[in-house]
Chain A
Amino acid sequence: MNIVETHGLTKRYGGAEAVSGLNMEVSEGRIYGFLGPNGAGKSTTLKMLLTLVRPTAGEIDIFGKRLGPRTRTEILRDTGSLIESPSCYGHLTGRENLEILRTMLDLPKSNIDEVLKTVRLDKQQKKKVSAYSLGMKQRLGLAEALISFPKLLILDEPTNGLDPAGIQEMRELIRSLPGRYGMTVIVSSHILSEMDRLADDVGIIAGGRMVYQGPLDRLHRAEKDKDLEEIFLELTGGEASL
């Protein structure tokens, strides 16, 4: 079953098309790696899934329901997200930031302790976020996304700003989510080696268009002697910057 489907999803800014007729299919319980060069339309697509950006054309189905004004609250209640840089109030502690989302979503208090343990911030929870390192902020952003243990998790460049150990830790954490909580994860990144180790399925977007979508192993089987980076560069034209 597809948890997310988009049909001809398009976003235009003035005359320029950031996303063009995108048909995305994300299967339940899988990790979907969303790849593309800078400015390919990854963040815009993910923002459209979260109603942060309004599509110019096209439709979005999440959990089998059409995303619209009447269904958006119900659908997005079961969706967690970390978009671009981590969002948090610097003058509050990590725990207080989570408390705001917990109150808003009417969740049990135990969720805060559980997500803090999951992202290993439980010992730093009483520190103000302004004193956090970038890696800690990123982990708090992930804790915010996980707080309701949603069915769908959307992560936009979650390893940005992390050191190699942090990247590995984040990868293992994301990798464990479908098995541990039954989540479906959409994760965008431009670190191809990471995606190679993390994703079950990939969608490759270039110039706002989907150029490949399907299981990662099928892509590897079709291009046996090439690594993901070479395949990616071939599919995206090779000129786009990463």
Chain B
Amino acid sequence: MIRLLKCEFLKTRRRYIFLSLLAVTAIGLFWTLNGRVSEDMRRLGWMIYLYQLPVTNSIVMPLLAMIAASRQWDLEHRSGMLRRLIPASGRGKLYDVKLLTGLGAVLVCCLINWAVIVIYGHAKGFYGPFPLRLYMLHLLSTLLPTAAVYLLQSLLSMAFKNQAAAFAVGIAGTFAGMFSMFLPQLPWLRRFLIWGGYGALNLVGMYGYTKETRWRDVWFEVSGPDPYAVIFLLCAGLTIYFFGKRLFCLKEV
């Protein structure tokens, strides 16, 4: 397994896959953190970010998953190296290692994204104690849907040589996931759509915001993640993983 992991890193030399993921993370962070920090922002900053981050995450994280999976599998499709690698190693292990490296890279980017926001909040002097427990839960709420989306993107990128198919599904899913957050009358859409997981696992609700008073009377309530969404994402992730592995093991090269 260690040898196969080493091979995955050797393959991606000069392909700058991780660098492109870091670039997307940086753009996402710039989008999230760009703007003036007002007094209201300092007062409510920690909670405002907890409330708003799922929206930006629902776009940036699926994009990271899509890029990582597509670039990893495109490498194999273009080179035809699966014909050499499968007899040399074995299909199941090859699939696992590919997922492990891709998922690892995507999750590291999630972690960087999270860490930069925490550092930013401290640097800008957000009021009140840092809500560590909530931010740890938020990190998990980001990692879980991202992992499920990556597994699906990886399956699609493996199954179809033309990466347009995986991109089409990824873009459609991302839009559906993002818009599901603006449709509170359709909670099932967030709950049973893997891209909707970012909204379904949102930890806080915001109340009291009006055009006139803006942030003055705003308060937040911690609601906790939707347990049905957690169960759904875990089941969907595992199902996609086993289905993808089986498909790869049966794939004729």
Contacts and interface: CB of A to CB of B under 8 A. Distances in A.
A84 B14 CA distance: 26
A50 B89 CA distance: 12
For this complex, into which size category does the number of interface residues on chain B fall? 20 to 34
A219 to B, nearest CB: 31
Contacts of B129: none
Interface stretch (A92-100, A157-165, A167-175, A188-196): A92-100
A103 B7 contact: yes
Interface stretch (B55-63, B74-82, B213-221): B74-82
Contacts of B78: 90
A91 B7 contact: no
A90 B83 contact: no
B211 interface: no
Contacts of B83: 50, 52, 81, 83-84, 87
Interface residues of A, number: 31
B55 to A, nearest CB: 36
Contact of A51 (B7, B15, B86): B86
Contacts of B79: 87-90
Interface in B65-107: 75, 78-90
Contacts of A91: 13-15
B36 interface: no
B250 interface: yes
Given A50-B87, A87-B81, A100 B250 contact: no
Best-surrounded residue of B7, B84, B250 (most CB of chain A within 10 A): B84
Interface of B: 3-4, 6-7, 10-11, 13-15, 75, 78-90, 250, 252-253
